[in-house]
Amino acid sequence: MKNNMLLLAAISMLAACSSQQSQPTVTQDEKIGKETTMIKKESFPSTERIDVVNTLHGVDIHDSYQWLEDVKNEKVQTWMNEQDTYTRAELSQLPEREMLKKRFAELYYVDSVRAPNKKGNRFFYSRRHADKEKAIYYWREGEEGAEKILLDPNTMSKDGSTSVGGVYPSRDGKKVAYTLRAKGGDESTMYLMDVSTGKVSDIDIIPGAKYAGPSWTPDSKGFYYTWLPVDPKISTSERPGFSEVRFHKLGTDPLKDEIIKEKIGDAKKFHGVDLSRDGRYLLYYVWHGWTATDVYYRDLKSKSKSFKPIVVGKKFQYSIESWKGNFYIYTNEGAPRFKIMKASAKKPTQENWKEIVSEFSDGSVIKNLQIVGGHVVLTLLSNVYSKLRVHDLQGKLVRDIKLPGIGATFGMTGQPDSDTAYFGFQSFTVPSRIFKTKISTGEADLWTKVEVPIQPEDFKVEQVWFTSKDGTKVPMFVITKKGIKKDGSTPFILSGYGGFNVSLYPYFRASIFPWLEAGGGYAIPNLRGGGEFGEEWHQAGMREKKQNVFDDFIAAAEYLIDNKYTQSSKLAIRGGSNGGLLVGAAMVQRPDLFKAVICAVPLLDMVRYHKFGSGMTWISEYGSADNEEEFKYIYAYSPYHHIVDENYPSLLMLSADNDDRVDPMHARKFVAAIQHHSKSGHPVLLRIEKNAGHGGADLIREYIQTDTDTYSFLFSELGLR
């Protein structure tokens, strides 16, 4: 069930952590930086200022760009086209573009394959091909069977704007439910395919599948799912409150699907169900944002159709794996770094729980619980790197699965009744590898690996610790080319996130290598608000404590400067989504500290964020300006509302025309305000991706174009050659 929660979290807020010559002297770098700042403020497209005053809790809030919120307005469309056209014209003139474009193509057009998911005797997996824009989904009859195409999104639309959202095979592998998305958005429609024939049903078509996550019955004749209405009369921000849990029987009209749970009635909550593998127990979850869960259950052998509570009304997280008549509960109640409990499915209420794996005393966080091969498999995060651990069903440690080094893994792909499983591994300098293992022995053999044209031995990764404003110690990964001198002359990118319990693992980022190869550095601090050290770390960076995240990030920048990794004139910051809020706040609070900012699909007007896109679902994380007490701390840091006449750093804002998660109004209003108020003369650019959603257009050529624009901007602004 935890995987379903992760799916909902991903839908609601994704981290966008994208996500040679010798070094010139500091004096030369500063000169180059001035020479390559090609764009002058007076040349920006003009933006009309229309003063609107909103009064909240007795405070008058002036907003000169509120008119830019209405994307359907012809004036707004004209403004967007002018800004994007101007930006692309300026970016097209920057040096290093062709070299960067060529290098990104070498790094991105590679062959790779995901770990297979076994259903019945069939294996399902996706594969990227070096000559294709999108991954293709395949299946095999048996592990050694012939490879057959299941879904090829490369052929689904002429412009490549149709994407596969998720693929959900039935228990016997004979059917597959899958979702399709248009223009990179989150909105989805679910379809049903017969795997053997490839025929897609013209009956089993379910719109409103944004949160679907189907859970199949053991006989593969139907599935439970979460349905979201597509009624245009319901505002986008309120729609999550109208979601229902339904059951679909294959071959029947989805409009007549049985409603298992009526609309939840609160856009700040999610709900969904998970059916036990034996088909007996239906678990019903209500997620109160990212900090609390209610869990109910129904015994489908009982005549009663009502759900009984397992644990309700507590401000902790719970998820359950069911196996052979027992529930295995993953929770942070009384254990901020999580523990594992066990109970009989016949008596699952909390007084019957037994602790089988305690919270780890060494500071490790349990990130995931799985039942694989008749064992409890735990994925741990220890000092911000992964561990895999196998326990028996009573919680006794069986063994640690040896990983190739310090890096990241995200659990196993396997079944509770199968001894064979797969797990991935990667690090900052090691591309993804997949290993095949036997749970009973712990043996692990390399199954496949991604070949990327880099030389890992040329780079250095270190983990450092710095002190934040309030004295908190915060870790940070620093990646550079070996031999870089700590004399302040190295151009650096500082990237972070800090929210929603999201952990920034040491995983492979192909996009950073042209920068590293040219002599730049890359730093990733593990800020409060994330999940690297458990729920206490998360809660120390949310709601009224959100300023801690910005303080951590600013302290990370100061550490890099104080320790001669770089200097302010050579330092860029980068973040997306909640990370866009991070860099927007840092830019406004400490404009003197940075030379350039890359801000992608951000939240920036925190007073009005909940009125747009999926904003209502994030109130548990940020709070709401509608509440007077919460308004005080939100307004105190809201980046858009603290823009003044100031020497701001260079800004490249990355937006998308079909972002239905974080409304692009944030990007538009912030750019307009910075263009008006910035006194530095540095560039302030808005780049709008076409046919793209919150995660961007999912075509390799579009990734290359975006990264070419982004890094040519950074090369130019920071004086890197």
Closest CA to 694 of 529, 615, 611, 576: 576
Give the list of residues 6+ apart from residue 710 with CB closer than 8 angstroms, or none: 598, 652, 654
Q: Name the token pair of 355.
A: 């602790």
CA distances from 253 to 205, 206, 218 (A): 8, 9, 21
Give the whole-angstrom CA distance, residue 555 versus residue 172. 53
Catalytic residue among 319, 694, 712, 716: 694
Active site residue 577: yes
Where b means 16+ CB within 10 Å and e means fewer, 190-217 reads bbbbebeeeeeeeebebebbbbbbbbbb
Amino acid letter for position 350: Q
Beta partners for residue 16, in sequence order: none
Give the whole-angstrom CA distance, residue 213 versus residue 4. 7
Give the whole-angstrom CA distance, residue 668 versus residue 676. 13
Q: DSSP assignment of 198-242, as one string?
A: -PBPSS--EE--TT---EE-TTSSEEEEEE----TTS-TTTGGGG
Give the whole-angstrom CA distance, residue 511 versus residue 493. 12
Closest CA to 234 of 212, 267, 261: 267
Give the whole-angstrom CA distance, residue 637 versus residue 198. 53
Catalytic residue among 163, 577, 638, 650: 577
Under 8 Å between Cβ of 338 and 21: no
Closest CA to 374 of 303, 326, 311: 326
Under 8 Å between Cβ of 501 and 484: no
Give the whole-angstrom CA distance, residue 446 versus residue 436. 6
Give the whole-angstrom CA distance, residue 624 versus residue 616. 9
Among all residues, which ones are annotated catalytic?
A: 577, 694
